[in-house]
Amino acid sequence: MENQILGIIRRNLHQVETLSDYEKYTFKKVLHCRTERVPHMVSCCDSCGTVHPVYKSCKNRMCPLCNGAGTVKWIAKRESELLQCGYFLLTYTIPSELRHLFLLNKMLCYDLLFKAMSQTLLKAVETGHRDFHGRAGFFAMLHTWDQRLYHPSFPPDV
């Protein structure tokens, strides 16, 4: 049975007209993962001598076949680290007008973004609700894909 995500991509890819070259490259790698379209090795059965093709994996982080198990393991590991307290998610989004600036100055811009984010959160805790007792903590990660699959390493299609 075909992976459901790959089936959805395969059936609808022709309708998507605004893919960047990187997105097209990624979809091609993922769609051809572990198929006869990629170079393969052969394996010979020790018992009967039958030769079987062994198709290579694309090893792309976006591939549900290659990274599906890795994602599940990562989520389980993160869930095991959760404390018995309330959590909430904040998302800091870079305006589209600044994307090109971030693309050309990644180190500086992302450093400034993380500093501004941490200062904002710490200030909010300091001046927050008077019933808050304890110490707040947070962690941050850079999520570089938007809903249009834009990635700051590659200029968006205009």
The last residue of one of the domains, among 68, 90, 122, is 68
103 and 143 co-located in one domain: yes
Model confidence pLDDT, tens digit, residues 82-114? 888 777 788 888 888 888 888 788 889 989 999
DSSP string, 67-118: HHHHHHHHHHHHHHT--SS----------GGGHHHHHH-HHHHHHHHHHHHH
Model confidence pLDDT, tens digit, residues 31-53? 888 777 666 677 888 888 888 77
47 and 92 co-located in one domain: no
| pTM score, whole prediction | 0.45
91 and 57 co-located in one domain: no
